[in-house]
Amino acid sequence: MADNTQFNVFGFTVDQLLNLSPEKLTSLNESQLREVTARLARVANKRIDRLKDSGAKSPALIRSDGKEIPKFSESKSQSKFNTKVELRQLRSFLKSKTSTVSGYNEFNANVKKGLSKIGVNVSDENMQDFFDVLNRIREEEGISSKEFLYSVAEAISDSMKDYRGVDKDKIFEDIMSRLDAIYQGQEERFSSEPDIYDLFGGPDNTVEGFGPNNDF
């Protein structure tokens, strides 16, 4: 691997390519960098297809703006700048546990188990919407109170049942209009419980996962 003229992208596993050191990536010429990016794009696009075919509502498929991620470019003729940008996005996606069907299923089961501990039951179909609303309310209100988050989580779950088929904005508005009533009398209710995101091991390191996003 020392001689870049001998660098063959197919001589490496996907994991090895994802974990190439910054020094090694810097040492690659533009053609080699495009080869790495194109190969990882092919792998990523296959994962995207499998996730969609399975019907999984994986957070790895959702961008930070709430829109679904597009397919990655497999072109070997992108500019050097675009190649580097795409490589960063590919590494973030492919390193996400929920970028595979099995990883998503495991993560989703842990999330549901954690939520059920506090009496909140959310369907697979509504899981992403549930956390989108919860995160939005937390950020809007600057909520750090564990007890308040538990109460809000319960209210969101109930609101989703009441407003079945209604979009997230409607649910968000419903909860915001009832925040004072939701919080009243809840200060001590969950005082012995762990943080809501710690119930299932903390937020997943995904492209806008259920919990706060942690970009690599």
Quick one: three-class SS letters along 57-70?
Answer: CCHHHECCCCCECC
Q: What is the band of 93 on the pLDDT scale with cuts at 50, 70, 90? A: very high
Rounded CA-CA distance 60/82 in Å is 21
Any domain includes 206: no
Question: What residue numbers bound the domain in which 29 lies?
Answer: 4-99
For residues 151-178, give the mean pLDDT.
84
Domain boundary among 69, 99, 129: 99
- Residue 94 and residue 9 share a domain: yes
Q: Is the whole-model pTM more than 0.75?
A: no
**Cβ–Cβ < 8 Å for 137, 175:** yes
- Residue 16 and residue 50 share a domain: yes
Phi-psi region of 87 (alpha: psi -120 to 50; beta: other; left: phi over 0): alpha
In the chain, what are the helix, strand and coil shares in percent, each to the nearest 5?
Answer: 60, 0, 40
Which has more pLDDT, 5 or 174?
Answer: 174
Q: What is the pLDDT of residue 216?
A: 27
For residues 42-64, give the mean pLDDT.
90
Rounded CA-CA distance 99/94 in Å is 6
- Least confident piece of the model among 1-10, 124-133, 174-183, 187-196: 187-196
- Residue 144 and residue 66 share a domain: no
- Residue 75 and residue 135 share a domain: no
Any domain includes 124: yes
Q: What is the pLDDT of residue 165?
A: 63
For residues 73-87, give the mean pLDDT.
90
Which has more pLDDT, 200 or 86?
Answer: 86
For the chain, the domain total comes to 2
Rounded CA-CA distance 201/117 in Å is 13
- Residue 174 and residue 132 share a domain: yes
- Residue 183 and residue 128 share a domain: yes
- Residue 93 and residue 14 share a domain: yes
Q: What is the pLDDT of residue 164?
A: 66
